[in-house]
Every structure is written in C-alpha cells, then in structure tokens.
C-alpha cells in the first residue's frame, strides 16, 4: 500500500504541475465575448516580415521559431485582444494564447489539475492510514512509546532532585550521570516515536508537543554541559527547570 500511495502522490504531483502550467492559456475556440479585453502575456501568432518568403504550407508552424528574422508576432506582449485581432489570430492557425488574467472557466487543464489534487489527497490518506495501522498491528496504542518515555524521564528527574537534597551539597557527577541517561534514554525514545505520535495527534498536535519538549531537551542538555564544566549554579537551575518544562510537554501531549 505504501508503494502504491507514493506512486500515486508522485503521479499527482507531476500531472498537477503540468496542468498548472496551462492556467493562463486561453483557447481561441471560446466565444469572442469571453476573450475580448484580455491582455496578452506573451507574443501570439506569426506573420512574415516585409520581404520575407511565405511559409511553406508543408512545414509545421511550430518548426518556425517565433521571433526569427523572417517572422514577427501578429500581436506582442501587452496587447489587448479585440475582435479584429481574434479573427487574425484564428486565421493564422493560433489555437491558444497566454494572457495575464486567470479564469477557472477558461483554464484548459482544470480537470487534470483537480484529478491530480484528488490523487494527492488519496495518496496522503493511504500513507496516514498505513502509519496508524503499523502501531496497532503491534498491539499497542500509537502514542504509548512517547508517553512512557516522558513518564520515565519524570521519574529519573524526581530521583535526581531527591538525591541532590541530601547533605553534602550539589553532586555534579550525579547530575551529569542522570542527565546523560535522560538524553540517551527517554529523550531519544521520544524522538524515535515521532511517526506514531503524528499518526495519533496529527502534525499540528505534534508541533505543539515538540515546542515544549524541545525546551525541556535544551534544559537537560544545558544542565549536563554546566555540570560537566563545573558551573554548579547553572546546573542546579537547569535541574529545577527541566521538570517544569517536562510537565508542560506532557500536558500538551495529553491535550
């Protein structure tokens, strides 16, 4: 399913981009009242320059480059479409012109674009459904790993704070040891649980949780660095601040 969904998204992206390129092309097969007054965004049509030979009728018009020495555009960029200009362009075999104004009704590739958007939506829903199904197949709730990691970190920090309250003053070695374990254990586990968390609470919810979790992670990292450098006051401040930020991350995950 994942491979098919990825292929569907790729096809939708390519077809959508090609269809979007036609958004400002106006077919001259439309009625005059839907074209008159539009402004050309590129030169349209070709006409022989004075003294230049006429085009060989057996040679496709597309093979004769616009703006070549022997041919000039019928109308230049910025020209306004009039009934007379439309007659001249149609007589020259011009089928579409590029204009500055957008109209969904004139858009020749609108249905291809809408189909591509539908393909992208279906592909994204299939990927999301697959992400939800993977944790469920393992017999656990999608966000179980992340929530347990935060609980584990909370218990480790509580134990550290109780240890630091014992007589003898701040123990910088204990701070580096415990915060190092928090970095390698709960923090790494929570980050690794990203796909399951997104499947459970969505990208917006995950962003809210990560905003608070990132602040908690920075506090832990700073506390470890301060303890390693012997900055006792800063290390102790981080040890006190980290649980508060962790509680905010847990609240965001629960909400």
What confidence score (pLDDT) does residue 58 get? 45
Residue 82's alpha-carbon distances to 26, 106, 231, in angstroms, are 14, 17, 79
**8-state DSSP, 47:** E
CA-based nearest residue to 73, from 104, 42, 96: 42
Mean pLDDT of 121-143: 61
> Strand, helix or coil at 89?
helix
pLDDT in tens, 29-45: 999 999 999 999 999 88
User: What is the chain's length?
Assistant: 255
CA-based nearest residue to 190, from 223, 235, 156: 156
What confidence score (pLDDT) does residue 136 get? 47
Question: Is the sign of the CA dihedral 224, 230, 232, 233 positive or negative?
Answer: negative
> Strand, helix or coil at 25?
strand
In percent, how much of the chain has pLDDT > 70? 81
Helix extents (H) in the chain: 2-20, 83-91, 110-137, 144-164, 172-182, 188-192, 194-229, 232-254
Instruction: Tell me the two tokens of residue 247.
Output: 């509680």
Q: Is the pTM of this model over 0.95?
A: no
Residue 140's alpha-carbon distances to 200, 202, 254, in angstroms, are 12, 18, 17
Q: Can you tell me which residue has the tokens 């040890």?
A: 239
> Do 143 and 194 touch, CB atoms closer than 8 A?
no
Of residues 103 and 147, more confidently modeled: 103
Helices 144-164 and 194-229: crossing angle in degrees, nearest 10, is 20
Number of other CB atoms surrounding residue 227 within 10 Å: 26
Whole-number Å distance between alpha carbons of 120 and 115: 9
> Strand, helix or coil at 135?
helix
| pLDDT higher than 70, residue 216 | yes
| pLDDT higher than 60, residue 133 | no
């Amino acid at each position: 399913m994942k491979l098919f969904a990825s292929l569907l998204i790729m096809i939708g992206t390519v077809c959508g981009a090609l269809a979007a390129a036609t958004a400002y092309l106006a077919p001259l097969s439309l009625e005059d009242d839907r074209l008159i007054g539009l402004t050309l965004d590129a030169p349209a049509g070709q006409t022989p320059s004075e003294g230049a030979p006429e085009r060989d009728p057996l040679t496709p018009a597309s093979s004769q480059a616009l703006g070549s020495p022997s041919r000039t555009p019928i109308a230049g960029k910025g020209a306004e479409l009039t009934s007379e200009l439309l007659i001249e362009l149609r007589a020259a075999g011009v089928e579409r012109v590029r204009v500055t104004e957008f109209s969904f009704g004139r858009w020749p590739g609108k249905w291809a674009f809408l189909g591509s958007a539908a393909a992208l939506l279906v592909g994204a829903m299939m990927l999301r459904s697959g992400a939800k199904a993977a944790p469920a197949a393992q017999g656990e709730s999608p966000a179980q790993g992340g929530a347990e990691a935060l609980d584990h970190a909370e218990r480790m920090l509580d134990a550290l704070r109780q240890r630091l309250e014992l007589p003898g003053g701040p123990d910088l070695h204990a701070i580096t040891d415990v915060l190092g374990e928090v970095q390698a254990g709960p923090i790494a586990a929570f980050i690794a649980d990203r796909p399951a968390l997104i499947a459970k609470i969505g990208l917006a919810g995950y962003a809210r949780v990560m905003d608070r979790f990132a602040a908690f992670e920075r506090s832990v990292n700073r506390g470890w660095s301060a303890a390693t450098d012997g900055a006792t006051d800063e290390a102790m401040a981080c040890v006190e601040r980290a649980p508060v930020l962790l509680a905010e991350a847990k609240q965001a995950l629960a909400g």
